[in-house]
Chains A and B, each alone.
Chain A
């Protein structure tokens, strides 16, 4: 299924190259470099040339690429890539970078040998793999140092040497499949705790006349389990039936959920996403944004200016607060010369790289109104040729790019969460958060 696996740097340097099955030459990497990395137009994650297909994902500053010569199961390959990406994250403590991969490439080769067997992807379990191939010790300072050019890897490289003798480290524990693969035995905590975070991200698209074209919530429940032993957990959510679209972590017993609507699971140790869901019923939008846009007739000697007047109403409960609010006004459709603005609160900045204005407000209380008026003087040179464009082209939508409210817009609530099979009763913590995925207002 997988004929070759590559890791490329952003510039197209080949960092890791492993060929699992014959029929693929090493220089096939060049084709990917030319067709995908150096090609600015086509960034499709799947590219087939002849019968050879490249599937890739981006992760930080590297590309992870799978080459296959047959009609492979694309979903399976992509899941493998995500899995491997997650594995690298766990091995490098979330710091995956070109630099670290260069330092530890032998370890990556070893990992690949484990997770791909003769071209067939195997399950990727950090818990099992770390017993065979121990993760490198990465401290942030070390990482920074090696990033600065001096090669200080004295402590971090030795892992690759240990892995050479896999036979001597394995204990009788590593039975394949018969144990719970995502949880190791003998976990102990002094204090047994579960943290739950119900995070709902809004996806909203609003038409120029203010109607909601599309709105739904991507919800996810993150769990941090600090539990001893092999706890059997079960959890029930309130109003589960209304939110029909669930996706569960692999530890959840799906058949039981289907029958009883109760989530049974043995949690992995530490942080994981137990479920995500989608809901599109009765979503109360937290904000109402009104945009008045005028272009053309302006002040000054024949100059035309562009004006925005934005009214932002917070619609949530008075006791709640939205923090780190950020609204973006992309103005890439005009060449700006100068601008003036006035706001009732917050700050406005122009971001050159994205050519958009960013309105930041650190805290917004419920049920209040904020306004922003912004006046832009376009470049004189662009006026004649582009003025019609400015007025008529559809302008990129204004978007709410960030905020956080400690409550959630859907009606999802935790009913209960219990642990059986162990003698302790864990302490449970829960919080609800609203965030934003994509909140676009056309005008």
Chain B
């Protein structure tokens, strides 16, 4: 037999080589081989089959012709399933079954007819029946297990009523037998766990059938099974169902203390020396996320020792090399802390525990971050750090953190981006000038254009966020503009300066007396620097900003200068994007009004007249045109001319919606934060978006039961702050005060889900929102501030978004 084996093994290889070297085997060749199949001897058949499989698998993505052959092939080999007397026949059968598995996976996605599928059913049915009846010898039993394993795998992929019914019946019966048997062979155990994991698949295909059978009851019972392999398989399935937005009704897991203790015993390996695999540990930790402590129902003064016991038992897992275990433990501890008791009576005992625990968490995070060989895990951790800085920022302020996020020269872009975002979020009034700002200045001069731009954005946004530090930020921008002939730096500086002007100059006008002369001088300085290089402006966003600045400051820089610059920037007016056209129209109107203030002749500035006429006459975009018409009327209407106050409104920037970059922009809705925390380490934690928004197959999660102390971290904060300046914790304090913040308002991340995309819109770079800076003028009667924030993104981003969404659409069509 041995020699035969070698024979069968050797020959296929030779022919495989030839088949792979000729890259495509023609369908006709395969068919002729198939036809020969029934007339040749068993070992040869096996060879042929193996060759076929090899050819088909290797070319499956190259040639769809071959995929079309699948039904044909099944037709001609299905008889192999009926014989299993000799070794060769068994091998043949096994090979055929592998084939069928491959086949159903292919046709599933190709919508082929189900006739061939029905051919297989009797063979499958017979085999499964034998398994249920049992009573075979050991060797035959093992063989039976193996083939049923393949059959179950195959059947799960066939969403045809007969199959689903058959399979559910089988699963039900097989699982019901589990209690009866004591000593099991490994192959049987494997078949059983497979059947358990098949349940969610079946549930998705036909929820009613599954609910009507007894399998859920069985699976629940398995949670207490002493057979830990079965128990973990059952828990895995329940976890999966718990995540799903289920077809019929959501299945919500909830475990009590006893169950949690049992899971912990298994998890920490104190159960009969059973060594739990790492994937199983992850499942147990996930299962514990559904544990609701007994104290949850007891109100504020409940005994939380149960919670702390659990926390203490799992924290050793933070020292695992497996990042999934670490992140799951982190998530579990954060979840459990929601149930910790922070009332004064209990505080004394839990405060030290709290501090120790938080220290352990930060250490675990910093270890994950410094791991050199896995940038992907680093990236995931960094995204979760953002989540934590948003929800529980003090966790990081207890540690010498920001330097941990300084970029190394050879960090991949996606890591640099995330680090930049974190640095921005971690900046406080106290660390800004000596730590964050110098670092950002270095990035601003980075050779990588995107990095440099993002860093400048961040500097600009920090200037808006911290009024106390605006002078330092402006100084940095000034040196950047002065020292550079690099165009992108200049352009980006224009963009951020526009925001700084808007934020601070209007404030100056309001409180004239208290105006900060120094800041004013600095701003004026930068303004003059900026207008020296206007011919370098190429980006539409930068041009847009410059146009706005020119409109706003035409009085300061002089009408003629402003006119020539605006003329230069609008010389390709027709080709510019709409936002830019709109801004330009408003700018020239401002120019005209300033001009009228000094010159009462009632004449028009040349540029204003040209632009308005041109637009009214030749622009096809209705928005642009109607604005031009509106302005023309406004300027030519004699009655309005006599009411200067109305026209003055156009110039008075204090009417504009105030832009801020304080904690308001960084906050996510507390409900979303809670949900994200329950989903730490998942994909949603990367995008910082509510799960159901991105993943329609998932269920929204919230904390089970009523956590009695919702804000342990606030207590923690207060305590940590007693020694520190409380200045830096604006995020936290405003988190408490804040109510619900609507999503349309959220500058933090746009609704595009591509990471790529969300990056450009993320808080550091997310200023583009208030594009249409002036249009409130025309809706001057309404006092709401809402107009600006919902307007579109910068044109570049918008274009990109369009591109991506096109891809998304195509993709969903294909689906």
Chain A: residues with CB nearer than 8 A to chain B?
Answer: 1, 14, 17, 19, 21-29, 31, 34-35, 41-53, 55, 57, 68-76, 78-79, 81-82, 102, 105-106, 109, 113, 117-118, 120-123, 125, 151, 153-154, 157-158, 160-162, 164-167, 170, 172, 174-181, 201, 203, 205, 213-214, 216, 218, 244-250, 253-255, 257-258, 273, 275-278, 330, 332-333, 385, 388-389, 392-394, 396-397, 399, 437-438, 440, 442
Q: Is the CB of B275 within 8 A of A153?
A: no
Q: In the docked arrangement, what's the CA distance between A140 and B313, Å?
A: 48
Chain A to chain B contacts (Cβ below 8 Å), 9 pairs: A21-B201, A45-B375, A57-B376, A78-B376, A157-B13, A181-B277, A250-B278, A389-B484, A437-B372
Tell whether, in the assembled complex, residue A181 and residue B275 are in contact, meaning their CB atoms are under 8 Å apart: yes
A-side interface mostly:
mixed
- Beta-carbon contact of A249 and B321 below 8 Å: yes
CA distance A28 to B190 in the complex (A): 31
Which residues of chain A are within 8 angstroms of B21 by Cβ–Cβ distance? 151
CB-CB nearest 7 A-B residue pairs: A258-B316, A394-B445, A123-B277, A75-B324, A245-B367, A254-B316, A157-B13
Whether B684 and A71, one on each chain, are in contact in the complex, defined by CB atoms closer than 8 angstroms, is: yes
In whole angstroms, what is the CA distance A125 to B280 when docked? 13
CB distance from A404 to the nearest CB of B (A): 16
Contact assessment for B315 and A157 in the assembled complex, using a CB-CB cutoff below 8 Å: no
Contacts of B95 in A (CB 8 A): 164
Are the C-beta atoms of A248 and B694 separated by less than 8 Å?
Answer: no
Partner of A50 from the list B190, B698, B808 (CB cut-off 8 Å) is: B808
Could you count the A-B residue pairs with CB atoms below 8 Å apart for me: how many are there?
Answer: 311
* A75 and B105 within 8 A (CB): no
A residues less than 8 Å from B146 (CB atoms): 166-167
Interface size, chain B (Cβ < 8 Å): 129
Q: State whether A17 and B696 are in contact (beta carbons under 8 Å apart), knowing that A167-B187, A214-B406 are contacts in the complex.
A: no
- Nearest Cβ distance between residue A71 and chain B, in whole angstroms? 4
**B408 near A276 (CB under 8 angstroms)?**
no
Tell me whether B187 and A170 are in contact (CB under 8 A). yes
Our pick among B13, B198, B327, B696 for the contact of A118 (Cβ within 8 Å) is: B198
CB of B296, distance to nearest CB on chain A (Å): 25
Residues of A within 8 A of B409 (CB): 330, 396-397, 399, 440
Answer yes or no: B50 CB below 8 A from chain A CBs.
yes
B113 CB-CB contact with A under 8 Å: no
B811 touches A52 (CB 8 A): yes
Q: Bits for B17-40, please: 1 = Cβ < 8 Å to A, else 0.
A: 100110000000000000000000
Query: Which single member of B403, B683, B808 contacts A72 (CB below 8 Å)?
Result: B683
Q: Is B734 an interface residue (CB 8 A)?
A: no
Q: Are A158 and B686 in contact (CB under 8 A)?
A: no
Closest CB-CB distance, B342 to chain A, in whole Å?
Answer: 25
B residues less than 8 Å from A218 (CB atoms): 370-372
Q: Cβ of B681 and Cβ of A276 under 8 Å apart?
A: no
Contact A47:B376 (CB < 8 A) given known A26-B109, A158-B10, A177-B229: no
B413 at interface by CB-CB < 8 Å:
yes
Bound Cα distance from A117 to B313, whole angstroms: 30
B754 within 8 A of A: yes
Mark B396-437 against chain A: 1 for CB-CB distance below 8 A, else 0: 000000011010111011100000000000000000000000
Residue B797 interfacial (CB < 8 Å): no
Q: Which residue of A lies closest to B282 (CB)?
A: A76
Which of the segments B153-161, B167-175, B594-602, B658-666 contacts the partner chain? B153-161
Give B105's nearest chain A residue, CB to CB.
A19
How many angstroms between the C-alpha atoms of A387 and B412 in the bound complex? 28
Interface stretch, picked from B57-65, B531-539, B581-589, B718-726, is: B57-65
Main secondary structure of the interface of B (DSSP, over half): helix
A118 touching B447, Cβ below 8 Å = no
Least Cβ–Cβ distance between A235 and chain B, in angstroms: 14
List B residues at the A interface (Cβ < 8 Å): 8-10, 12-14, 16-17, 20-21, 50, 53-54, 57-58, 60-61, 90-91, 94-95, 98, 105-106, 108-109, 142-143, 146, 153, 156-157, 159, 185-187, 189-190, 193-194, 197-198, 201, 228-229, 236, 240, 243-244, 268-270, 274-280, 282, 286, 313, 315-317, 319-324, 326-328, 363-364, 366-367, 370-372, 374-377, 379-380, 403-404, 406, 408-410, 412-414, 442, 445-447, 483-486, 679, 681-687, 691, 694-698, 753-756, 804, 807-808, 811-812, 814-815
Asked if B109 contacts A25 (CB within 8 A), the reply is yes
Residues of B within 8 A of A73 (CB): 282, 286, 324, 328, 681-682
Contact A47 B815, beta carbon cutoff 8 Å: no
Residue of B nearest to A39 (CB): B756
A sample of 13 more A-B contacts (CB under 8 A), given A29-B61, A250-B322, A257-B319, is A26-B106, A48-B754, A49-B811, A81-B376, A105-B58, A154-B14, A161-B12, A167-B187, A170-B142, A249-B321, A250-B320, A388-B485, A442-B442
CA distance A76 to B323 in the complex (A): 8
Judge whether B316 and A31 touch: CB under 8 Å.
Answer: no
Determine whether the beta carbon of B57 is less than 8 Å from that of A105: yes
CA distance A327 to B146 in the complex (A): 58
In the bound assembly, the distance between CA atoms of A258 and B357 in angstroms comes to: 13
CB-CB < 8 A to B201: which residues of A? 21, 118
- Residues on A with C-beta less than 8 A from B326 are 75, 247
- Assembly CA distance A154 to B14 (angstroms): 7
Are A392 and B483 in touch, CB under 8 angstroms?
Answer: yes
CB atoms of A164 and B98 under 8 A apart: yes
A44 interface neighbour in B363, B379, B815, Cβ under 8 Å: B379
**Contact indicator B807/A109 (Cβ below 8 Å):** no
Interface contact A75-B367, CB-CB below 8 Å:
no
User: CA of A125 to CA of B698 in the docked complex: distance in angstroms?
Assistant: 30
A160 neighbours in B (Cβ, 8 Å): 54
Q: Are A78 and B377 interface neighbours, CB within 8 A?
A: yes
Collect the chain A residues with CB atoms within 8 Å of residue B317's CB.
254
CA distance A221 to B698 in the complex (A): 41
**B698 contacts across to A, CB distance below 8 A:** 70-71
Closest residue on chain B to residue A437 by CB atoms? B372
List of B residues within 8 angstroms of A394 by Cβ: 442, 445-446
Q: Is the CB of B372 within 8 A of A120?
A: no
Tell me which residues across on chain B come within 8 A of A253, comparing CB atoms: 269
Question: Is the Cβ of B327 less than 8 Å from the Cβ of A385?
Answer: no
Q: Which listed residue, B61, B91, B755, touches A48 by the CB 8 Å rule?
A: B755
A1 touches B486 (CB 8 A): no
User: Which of B14, B370, B814 has the most C-beta atoms of chain A within 10 angstroms of its own C-beta?
Assistant: B370
Q: Which residues of A contact B379 (CB under 8 A)?
A: 44-46
Whether A177 contacts B275 by the Cβ 8 Å rule is yes
In Å, the complex CA distance between A121 and B324 comes to 13
For B684, the chain A residues whose CB sits under 8 A away are: 71
Q: Is the Cβ of A273 less than 8 Å from the Cβ of B275?
A: no
Chain A residues with CB under 8 Å of B282's CB are: 73, 76
Q: Which residues of A contact B364 (CB under 8 A)?
A: 245
Q: How far is the CB of A250 from chain B (nearest CB, A)?
A: 5
| Chain B, residue nearest A398 (CB) | B409
User: Which of B90, B313, B486 lies in contact with A393, CB distance below 8 A?
Assistant: B486
Measured in the bound complex, the distance between the Cα atoms of B482 and A388 in whole Å is 11
In the complex, residue of chain A having the shortest beta-carbon distance to the beta carbon of B364: A245
Residue of A nearest to B185 (CB): A172
Q: Nearest residue in B to A399 (C-beta to C-beta)?
A: B409
Cα separation A157 to B9 with both chains bound (whole Å):
9
Q: Is the CB of A78 within 8 A of B380?
A: yes
Provide the residues of chain B in CB contact with A1, threshold 8 Å.
240
Please, how many angstroms separate the alpha-carbon atoms of A49 and B806 in the complex? 10
Evaluate contact between A205 and B414: CB separation under 8 angstroms: no
Chain A residues whose C-beta falls within 8 Å of the C-beta of B413 in the assembled complex? 41, 43
Q: Is the CB of B322 within 8 A of A178?
A: no
Q: CA A164 – CA B814 in complex, angstroms?
A: 35
A106 and B95 CA atoms in complex are apart in Å by 13
From residue A141, how far is it (CB to closest CB) to chain B in Å? 18
Q: How far is the CA of A414 from the CA of B696 in the complex (A)?
A: 52
Question: Given A117-B197, A257-B319, are A71 and B91 neighbors across the interface (CB < 8 Å)?
Answer: no
Minimal beta-carbon separation of A299 from chain B (angstroms)? 24
